[in-house]
């Protein structure tokens, strides 16, 4: 069984899962899930990186393989996800731009005042024998600095590379 890199980092700092959880404001079981490969929110990744001294985007670099163009061509796909926010949970199908084999953008809005673009990015996997995709994790309302090359770079940068180049950190 491979030890997750986060567990190695935590142990190098002499921290228990419970102590690390207290420091970042989450439950110990959540730290355990992260060490088993669950992807954190950007906010939790940033808190962890402050304590364990690593780039917070490492979570995304280690989980998402390089996206290169060609041969991958962005395409519109249908992504299913669960909506459990109201009293009647249901599955939603939403058209999304698949910009590399495992990442899709469901929504994009541009704020003219700030010059930023808001994306709802979803980690997805294609359903077997289907043209549909299923959400594995989502990163709602990520703000990126707008650029003429932003959409083009989405086809050739890793998600972490995209965050490094365009993420509007000062908007948090």
Q: Is 25 left (phi over 0), alpha (psi -120 to 50) or beta?
A: left
Residue 151 has pLDDT above 50, yes or no: yes
Predicted pLDDT of residue 37: 78
User: How large is the average pLDDT for residues 45-65?
Assistant: 74
DSSP SS3 for 106: strand
The overall average pLDDT reported for the chain is 75
Q: What is the mean pLDDT of residues 89-105?
A: 76
pTM exceeding 0.85: no
């Amino acid at each position: 069984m491979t030890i997750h890199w986060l567990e190695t980092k935590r142990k190098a700092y002499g921290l228990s899962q419970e102590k690390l959880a207290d420091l970042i404001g989450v439950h110990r079981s959540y730290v355990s899930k992260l060490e088993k490969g669950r992807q954190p929110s950007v906010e939790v990744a940033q808190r962890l990186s402050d304590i364990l001294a690593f780039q917070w985007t490492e979570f995304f670099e280690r989980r998402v393989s390089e996206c290169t163009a060609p041969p991958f061509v962005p395409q519109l796909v249908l992504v299913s996800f669960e909506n459990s926010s109201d009293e009647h949970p249901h599955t939603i199908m939403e058209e999304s731009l698949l910009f590399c084999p495992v990442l899709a953008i469901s929504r994009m809005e541009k704020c003219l005042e700030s010059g930023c673009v808001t994306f709802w990015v979803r980690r997805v996997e294609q359903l077997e024998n289907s043209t549909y995709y299923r959400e594995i994790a989502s990163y709602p309302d990520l703000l990126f600095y707008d650029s003429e090359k932003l959409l083009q770079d989405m086809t050739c940068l890793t998600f972490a590379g995209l965050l490094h180049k365009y993420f509007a950190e000062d908007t948090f």
